[in-house]
A and B are shown apart, each in its own frame.
Chain A
Amino acid sequence: MADARREGTAGQEISDVFRGSTNGPDAPKDERTGKGIEAKSIPAFVAGEALAELGDSDPRIVVLTADLAHANRTVDFAARHPDRFFNVGVAEQNMVSIAAGMASTGLVPFAATFAAYLALLACEQLRTDCAYTGMPVRLLGHHSGMSLGFYGTSHHALEDIAITRAIADLTVVCAADANQLRAILRHSLDWPGAMYIRLGRGRDPEVYGEVPGDFQIGKALRLREGADLTIIATGSEVRACVDVADNLAADGIEARVIDMHTIDPLDRDAILAAADETGAVLTVEEHNLAGGLGSAVAETLADAGAGVAFRRHGVPDEHVIIGPPAALYNHYRLDAAGIESVARDLIGAKGQHDG
């Protein structure tokens, strides 16, 4: 144990997760070397900037965070609108209730912190003060899923979809990338009631080359056409599923890919059409298999009596092992290679079903 405690790398890696390492595999883009990830593809890092722009013309917008202004870049809003930015310190429950009180006076508050502390720690404030009251509070839960890697279960949010979709009068939306997040934020301004917006780690690869003009809350986006199966994904898993579809196409398997960005209200028509037209449905999410997107889709199919080859793919009902995020996605088969193997299994099952 003593040896484990003396390992010197943990501090370095922790700062990488928060601020972006200078030389890590997912470091911000270095213009000189061309290495790294484009800043615009970092959803959690554009919320502050996007809200600052929206805030120029909408004085109702206020932003709160709980001592994570740099990690979630709400400092970019604070720099432009210092009188409308509130850092409440390490007090997430207080933040959510304060946001609700602000909303009751006519403001549209955006409250941002780790998803684990919005949807789990402040769950009851979210329900009772935001959803039950119909307050237009927008909760930005970033670093959702297991994206905080070796921080471990205390910092993971693999239950937040299940929790939030069980709350009445709470809209639940997952952002797949930076451009979609921009669309979500803009559409949220006049959406009635409270909203939970699930964000990834802030390093999620690009899905949308530009802000999707056809984005509507509650209306799934079809990213790829195909007749052999449908992959329904949300948030951080959408890009990997597009890549999987490309790989399958090389073998003559055509997969429809649906970005189910809105979990509640769920686009049931898109699900039933997929079942009817492709005969096989695979759901993919960075979430516990209990209660998330897969469960929501399964309920929809079962309620409609739709007989279809079906798989839910996500994190098993366990506390995930320690590891860096990329290693965890590989371990739990939530990277493109892992998803592809599950998709091929499902295609096989569909063949037996048909035969």
Chain B
Amino acid sequence: MNHPPRGTPEREELTARLRDRAKFVRLETVRLTRIAGAGHYTGTFSAAELFAALYYAELRYRPEEPDWPDRDRFVLGKGHAAIGLYPLLADAGFFDSALLDNYTRLGSAFGDHPDMRKIPGIDFSSGSLGHGLSVSVGMALGARVQGRSFNVYCIMGDGELGEGQIWEAAMAAGQFQLGSLVGIVDRNHLSIDGNTESIMGVEPLAARFESFGWKVHEVDGHDLEAILDVFNALDTAAVGPPQMVIADTVKGRGVQRMEGDYQWHVGNLVGADYDDVVAEIESGLRPLVPGGTGG
């Protein structure tokens, strides 16, 4: 999709809105985690700007017609970040946001990982890492077979890249020349047990995808201006190299005590900590603390 160029009033308005919505993602993640008693804070915070840019700028969809056949598809490969996606879907109008007050409670449609049969706006269920890119390949082939022109976007975690199926899908996307497929790696440098490079390294990541036939775009995943520029630069031809966005991010971005700390992969804030974190998120992103584990 074409986004307004930098320096224009339209672009400034859009960027301000996306910044506000990224903040909304973080605030809702904290609120919903308190309802559940545990949640994936940090891997959601690293993707907050990406989520906002996708849902308020890039993706074509119709909340009043969730099954619109020509909508762009979004697959959350890293399904554990669904806690940050649900509020966006509600805000976009797919369902009543009051439903989220029952998040993870018995019988709720909303679990830690998204279920397409229960939640309007979820294009595919996820949670088991490594499947999403294959599913996205299938969606892109589905568009080709049926002569539709939608794009397919798939966000993966960098730890998720350890799953062999990702590379099977990467081979297939190159082989089939799925130019309408946009992969996005939330390169937050941490998986559950620590830094990816100390556990199972993914570098040189860009070169790896390029060698599989992908066109690779690298971007600061918290810089909304840069994200919009990358979206403008995508070459989503029906037949052509698949597009990969490697978004350099910080796990836990937006809450300093969590930034770059793998131990916050799952957690629960209580008491004054909760109020402090809410206030910190409200105040917006601060400069990164030097020496963190993250990017």
Instruction: Tell which of B128, B137, B141 has the most Cβ of chain A within 10 Å.
Output: B141
Cross-chain contact of B168 among A62, A94, A100, A109 (Cβ < 8 A): A94
Q: Is B35 an interface residue (CB 8 A)?
A: no
Q: Is the CB of A102 within 8 A of B128?
A: no
Assuming the contacts A98-B135, A129-B135, asked whether A104 and B168 have C-beta atoms less than 8 A apart, the reply is no
Assuming the contacts A104-B124, A125-B131, asked whether A97 and B145 have C-beta atoms less than 8 A apart, the reply is no
Chain B positions 119 through 132: 1 when the CB is less than 8 Å from some CB of chain A, otherwise 0: 00001110110010
Chain B residues in 8 Å Cβ range of A26: none
Chain B residues in 8 Å Cβ range of A86: 141, 176
Chain A positions 76 through 96: 1 when the CB is less than 8 Å from some CB of chain B, otherwise 0: 000000011010110101100
Chain B residues in 8 Å Cβ range of A91: 165, 168, 171-172
**Bound Cα distance from A86 to B137, whole angstroms:** 12
Main secondary structure of the interface of B (DSSP, over half): helix
**Chain B contact residues (Cβ within 8 angstroms of A): what range?**
20 to 34
**Distance (Å) between the CB of A60 and the closest chain B CB?**
9
**Bound Cα distance from A124 to B130, whole angstroms:** 11
Cross-chain contact of A133 among B116, B137, B139 (Cβ < 8 A): B116
Q: Is the CB of B142 within 8 A of A107?
A: yes
In the complex, which residue of chain B has the Cβ closest to the Cβ of A125?
B131
Assuming the contacts A83-B145, A93-B165, asked whether A124 and B138 have C-beta atoms less than 8 A apart, the reply is no
Chain A residues in 8 Å Cβ range of B165: 91, 93-94, 97, 125
Q: Is B57 an interface residue (CB 8 A)?
A: no
**Bound Cα distance from A88 to B168, whole angstroms:** 9
**Bound Cα distance from A128 to B115, whole angstroms:** 10
Q: Is B117 an interface residue (CB 8 A)?
A: yes
Chain B residues in 8 Å Cβ range of A107: 142, 145-146
Q: Is A99 an interface residue (CB 8 A)?
A: yes
Q: Is A132 an interface residue (CB 8 A)?
A: yes
Chain A residues in 8 Å Cβ range of B139: 101-102, 104-105
Chain B residues in 8 Å Cβ range of A99: 138
Chain A positions 102 through 117: 1 when the CB is less than 8 Å from some CB of chain B, otherwise 0: 1111110100000000
**Distance (Å) between the CB of A172 and the closest chain B CB?**
20
Q: Is the CB of A128 within 8 A of B138?
A: no
Q: Is the CB of A104 within 8 A of B123?
A: yes
Chain B residues in 8 Å Cβ range of A292: none
Assuming the contacts A88-B172, A128-B131, asked whether A98 and B116 have C-beta atoms less than 8 A apart, the reply is no
Chain A residues in 8 Å Cβ range of B141: 62, 86, 98, 101-102
Q: Is the CB of B131 within 8 A of A104?
A: no
Q: Is A134 an interface residue (CB 8 A)?
A: yes
23 CB contacts below 8 A, A to B, read A62-B141, A84-B145, A89-B171, A89-B175, A91-B172, A93-B134, A93-B165, A97-B137, A97-B138, A97-B165, A98-B169, A100-B138, A101-B136, A101-B140, A102-B138, A103-B138, A104-B124, A105-B139, A105-B142, A105-B143, A129-B135, A132-B125, A133-B124
